A and B are shown apart, each in its own frame.
Chain A
Amino acid sequence: DTGVSQNPRHKITKRGQNVTFRCDPISEHNRLYWYRQTLGQGPEFLTYFQNEAQLEKSRLLSDRFSAERPKGSFSTLEIQRTEQGDSAMYLCASSLETTVTEAFFGQGTRLTVV
Chain B
Amino acid sequence: GQNIDQPTEMTATEGAIVQINCTYQTSGFNGLFWYQQHAGEAPTFLSYNVLDGLEEKGRFSSFLSRSKGYSYLLLKELQMKDSASYLCASYNQAGTALIFGKGATLSVSS
Contact A55 B96 (CB under 8 A): yes
Interface centre among B33, B94, B100 (most CB of A within 10 A): B100
CB-contacts of A49-67 with B (<8 A): 50, 55-56, 58
The 21 sampled A-B contact pairs (Cβ below 8 Å) are A4-B42, A35-B100, A42-B85, A42-B89, A42-B103, A43-B87, A43-B100, A44-B100, A45-B98, A45-B99, A56-B94, A91-B42, A93-B98, A99-B95, A100-B30, A100-B31, A100-B50, A102-B45, A102-B48, A103-B45, A105-B44
CA distance A107 to B39 in the complex (A): 11
Interface residues of B (CB under 8 A from A): 8, 30-31, 33, 41-45, 48, 50, 85, 87, 89, 91, 94-103, 105
A69 to chain B, nearest CB (A): 14
Q: Is A40 an interface residue (CB 8 A)?
A: yes
A residues with CB within 8 A of B: 4, 33, 35, 40-45, 48, 50, 55-56, 58, 91, 93, 99-100, 102-108
Compute how far the CA of A40 lies from the CA of B101 in the bound complex, rounded to whole angstroms. 11
CB distance from B79 to the nearest CB of A (A): 23
Choose from B48, B50, B91, B101 the contact partner of A42 (Cβ within 8 Å). Answer: B101
Q: How far is the CA of A41 from the CA of B37 in the complex (A)?
A: 11
Note all chain B residues with C-beta closer than 8 A to A107: 41-42
Q: What residue of chain B has the Cβ atom nearest to residue A107's Cβ?
A: B42
Minimum CB distance partner of B85 in chain A = A42
